[in-house]
């Protein structure tokens, strides 16, 4: 496993203390930055967007920047909008950048042609709110409910002129599951990165191998239900995976490629089951005490103590699966439900934007109060749910493609690096000389954008991981 150790505070201070280190773009006096957005592109490049309120036109200017794989940055065509766009996804298609925004039943698609520095805009009204946005090599894929009716629709967006709508075939069983999930939050799992702990929600959605997979862990009935939707044909397949054990109180699952791994556990026992997603066939089942004790050496307690502590109040066990070549790395852990948040990065960016708006309002009337507040040790960020825990509950189980146990050294190098986003961005969030920070994380570097307050410059740069 490639774990990134981020004890490089001085390096970060050096980088963000001097705006001249990276690409800079000086804003005109009539522009007031309101937010920034950063997106990874499959080519190793990144795309950064600055949204600024134009005091002359009273519109929102969208200022885009394309950073290629080498880090070279190009500023692209500026577009203006009455309302601030809520950007959701970005992909590259035939060398062009396709940016998608959604708000108030309106889908907006912006095509940026890098070679000609032109931009095209398309707006689709009466567009129901998507359940999830995904991006692959050449498309943005979203799943939504049909407008004013039942059923689901998959939208495949290549660009503003090539949009394919695919109705989803829904059976009575699938409809029943979907209705049960209407009032629940469905967490979107990004499997194009290393997943450390994953979501604590019982409902999740994945995109793997041209298939959208919705899962629901029903611990009361010891089952995990899945809906697998082919994004090309719209055909949907429903499966129920049973791991019956009346004594087990916790249930969680994780999808990786054509496999679903289901872990059920209690203060007495823990079992991990592996099923083939398409066929529903159970491939294997392992018990912690009987089969997996050789992987338990990193945990500083015996199994009995571990299970008791991992099932205390406010503690939830987690299971994630990452690939290492053809092998599978299963990571078992336990987290505090009061402090852990799978969507920490997204929620943190949202919090920072809201906080910035609140600070700007407060500064108009209470400048001296804000100045005194900001002298503290970043107290504003202590209310965020962070990856904190007092006890190490994590251990790795290694399986080959046949679901047989192998030595865990065979999964030391995961396909995606393990990144501690909180530590990577800490120096940015605490630096009072910058604001409107956002970042994307690829396999080799963090790429970021922010506003340098003193110079009124947009700074775009990257820092390679110490792999």
What is the structure's pLDDT at 111? 97
Distance set, CA 153 to CA 130, 131, 383 (Å)? 9, 10, 38
**DSSP E strand stretches across 7-86:** 23-26, 31-40, 46-54, 60-67, 73-75, 79-81
Map tokens 């099923």 to a residue. 275
pLDDT digits over 400-446, tens only?
999 999 999 999 999 999 998 988 999 998 999 999 999 999 999 99
Map tokens 């925004």 to a residue. 101
Both structure tokens of 65: 């920047």
Q: How far apart are CA 322 and CA 195, in angstroms?
A: 7
What is the structure's pLDDT at 345? 58
Q: Which residues in 330-340 are b (16+ Cβ under 10 Å) and which e?
A: bbbbbbbeeeb
**Number of structural domains, the chain?**
1
∠ CA(376), CA(5), CA(45), 5° rounding? 95
In a domain, 444, yes or no: no
Q: Is 92 exposed, middle or buried (0-12, 13-18, 19+ CB in 10 A)?
A: buried
In a domain, 150, yes or no: no
Both structure tokens of 285: 């089942």
In a domain, 451, yes or no: no
| Three-class secondary structure of residue 348 per DSSP | helix
Torsions phi, psi of 377, nearest 5? -80, 60
Both structure tokens of 43: 């080519």
Both structure tokens of 392: 């190490």
- CB 25, CB 63: distance < 8 Å: yes
In a domain, 256, yes or no: yes
Both structure tokens of 353: 């934007």
**Best CA proximity match to 332, nearest among 292, 304, 390, 305:** 292
Distance set, CA 160 to CA 41, 122, 137, 138 (Å)? 18, 6, 16, 13
Q: Which residues are CB-neighbours of 229 under 8 A, at least 6 positions away?
A: 143, 152, 154, 168, 211, 212, 213, 214, 235, 236, 237
What is the structure's pLDDT at 350? 47
In a domain, 465, yes or no: no
- CB 225, CB 242: distance < 8 Å: no
Q: Is 306 exposed, middle or buried (0-12, 13-18, 19+ CB in 10 A)?
A: buried
**DSSP E strand stretches across 41-175:** 46-54, 60-67, 73-75, 79-81, 87-93, 96-103, 106-113, 118-124, 130-135, 140-145, 152-157, 163-167
In a domain, 397, yes or no: yes
**DSSP E strand stretches across 163-233:** 163-167, 187-188, 203-208, 211-218, 223-230
Q: Which residues are CB-neighbours of 63 under 8 A, at least 6 positions away?
A: 25, 49, 50, 51, 52, 75, 78, 458
Radius of gyration of the chain (CA): 23
What is the structure's pLDDT at 349? 52
Residue 411, domain extent: 195-340+387-415
What is the structure's pLDDT at 351? 46
Q: Which residues in 180-191 are b (16+ Cβ under 10 Å) and which e?
A: ebeeeebbbbeb
What is the structure's pLDDT at 246? 67
Map tokens 């398409």 to a residue. 278
**DSSP E strand stretches across 270-326:** 270-276, 282-287, 315-324
What is the structure's pLDDT at 21? 65
| pTM, rounded to two decimals | 0.86
Ranges of the chain with pLDDT below 50: 1-20, 350-351, 353-389
Q: How far apart are CA 309 and CA 339, in angstroms?
A: 16
Beta bridge partners of 440: 447
Give the torsion sign (CA, 83, 115, 40, 124): positive
Beta bridge partners of 162: none
Distance set, CA 219 to CA 35, 188, 242 (Å)? 40, 20, 10
In a domain, 395, yes or no: yes
Torsions phi, psi of 253, nearest 5? -145, 170
């Amino acid at each position: 496993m490639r774990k990134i150790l981020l004890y490089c505070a001085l390096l970060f201070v050096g980088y963000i203390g001097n705006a001249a280190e990276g690409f800079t773009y000086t804003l005109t006096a009539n522009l007031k930055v309101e937010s920034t957005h950063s997106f990874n592109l499959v080519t190793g490049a990144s795309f950064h967007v600055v949204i600024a309120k134009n005091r002359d036109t009273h519109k929102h200017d969208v200022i885009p920047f394309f950073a290629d794989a080498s880090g070279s940055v190009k500023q692209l065509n500026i577009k203006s909008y009455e309302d601030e766009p809520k950007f959701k996804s970005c992909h590259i298609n035939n060398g062009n950048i396709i940016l998608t925004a959604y708000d108030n039943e309106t889908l907006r698609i912006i095509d940026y042609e890098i070679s000609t520095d032109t931009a095209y805009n398309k707006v689709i009204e009466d567009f129901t709110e998507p359940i999830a946005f995904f991006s692959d090599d050449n498309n943005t894929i979203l799943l939504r409910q049909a407008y004013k009716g039942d059923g689901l629709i998959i939208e495949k967006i290549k660009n503003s002129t090539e949009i394919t709508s695919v109705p989803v075939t829904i059976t009575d069983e699938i409809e029943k599951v979907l209705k049960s999930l209407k009032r629940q939050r469905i967490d979107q799992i990004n499997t194009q990165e290393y997943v450390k702990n994953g979501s604590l929600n019982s409902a999740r959605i994945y995109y793997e191998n041209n298939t959208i997979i919705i899962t629901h862990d029903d611990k009361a009935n010891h089952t995990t239900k899945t809906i697998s939707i082919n994004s090309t044909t719209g055909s949907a397949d429903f499966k129920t995976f049973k791991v019956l054990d009346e004594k087990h109180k916790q249930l969680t699952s994780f999808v990786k490629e054509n496999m679903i791994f289901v872990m059920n556990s209690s203060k007495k026992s823990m079992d991990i089951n592996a099923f083939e997603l398409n066929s529903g066939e159970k491939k294997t089942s392992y018990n912690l005490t009987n089969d997996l004790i050789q992987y338990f050496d990193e945990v500083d307690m015996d199994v009995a103590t571990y299970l008791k502590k991992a099932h205390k109040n406010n503690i939830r066990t987690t299971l994630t699966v990452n690939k290492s070549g053809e092998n599978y790395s299963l990571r078992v852990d336990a987290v505090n439900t009061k402090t852990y948040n799978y969507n920490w990065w997204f929620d943190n960016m949202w919090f920072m934007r809201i906080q910035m708006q609140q600070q700007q309002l407060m500064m108009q009337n209470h400048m001296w109060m804000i100045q005194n507040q900001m002298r503290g040790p970043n107290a504003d960020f202590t209310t965020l749910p962070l990856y904190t825990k007092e006890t190490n509950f994590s251990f790795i189980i290694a399986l080959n493609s046949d679901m047989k146990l192998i030595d865990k050294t065979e999964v030391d190098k995961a396909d995606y690096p393990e990144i501690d986003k909180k530590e990577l961005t800490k120096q940015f969030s605490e630096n009072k000389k910058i604001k409107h920070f956002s970042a994307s994380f690829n396999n080799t570097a963090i790429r970021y954008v922010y506003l340098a307050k003193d110079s009124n410059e947009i700074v775009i740069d990257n820092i390679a991981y110490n792999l």
